[in-house]
A = this chain, B = another copy of it.
Amino acid sequence: MPLGYARGKTYHVRSVLKALELLQAFTPDEPEFGVTDLATRLGMHKSTVFRLLMTLEAEKFVQRDHTTGKYRLGIKLFELGSLVQNLLELRKVARPYLEELQERCGETIHLAVLDEGQVLYVDKLESPKPIQMYSRVGRRAPAHCTGLGKVLLAYLPPEEVDAIIARNGLKRYTDKTITDPRKLHDHLALVRQRGYATDIGEHEELIRCASAPIWDHTGKVVAAVSITTIGVRFDPRRMDELVHLVRETTAQISYDLGYRQGMSDASLRR
């Protein structure tokens, strides 16, 4: 299997591209569409959209809602989505450790990867506490202002971080959000040096979070785990505790994935 190919021209099948584009129009906030609605949104012709939908429906990639007659994402996507191998293995390995972590700290736990320069939640364990975080498996969050995101960015080559900044920008969410590229780079260096990231209201005012990276057997950071709490006052000692807990967890998961270096006792000492 030759890997080093130039991949010169792009041989894309247009109708397929349209179909895939169509599928991506569906979001958690807008889970269903009619034919005309989709057509105008995507700038495609009504009949094109109609035929694409019929095709996708035939294979259960979309399905019609019985009552409204509108189209939604279909069960086949659920089936295929749960087969995405690398995430599947990651989740499987991580699960028991995340459950243990959840029990030990009683807070909400997230497992996430970086995709398109954004945080993509891969697993979530909810805190039994009444106040819940607005997040969901399969959803995305910005990287530059979340604990998970900063950890995942920290182990990327700086030029890739720049590319992500160029593409996604550094939107300000609170007065704590880092919006200066230089400062972000400096901060990421600190995260890398420490081996963990914290977030104290950089994305949402009351959210506090401690996050640490997961390495795979090749020594690459492939995911991150976070503990999220909601708190009015900032308690440094509690944060230290959470940092210690996540790092312990991610060290174990990394070990299970075959990671075998640098993970000395020293790096776990707080």
Contact = CB atoms under 8 A, between A and B. Distances in A.
A115 B139 CA distance: 25
Interface residues of A, number: 59
A40 interface: no
A81 B138 contact: yes
A149 B70 CA distance: 28
B81 A79 contact: yes
A54 to B, nearest CB: 5
B138 A56 contact: no
Interface string A1-42: 111000000111101110111011011100110100000000
Among A10, A87, A136, A138, max chain B CB count under 10 A is at A138
A172 B64 CA distance: 35
A76 B17 CA distance: 13
Contact of A75 (B11, B52, B115): B115
B83 A17 contact: no
A81 to B, nearest CB: 2
B83 A11 contact: no
A69 B10 contact: no
A82 B15 contact: no
A115 B59 CA distance: 12
Given A16-B55, A20-B61, A78-B84, 19 more contacts: A1-B34, A3-B69, A11-B55, A12-B54, A12-B55, A20-B55, A24-B80, A26-B83, A28-B83, A31-B83, A31-B85, A73-B80, A75-B87, A75-B120, A77-B77, A78-B122, A81-B84, A82-B136, A82-B137
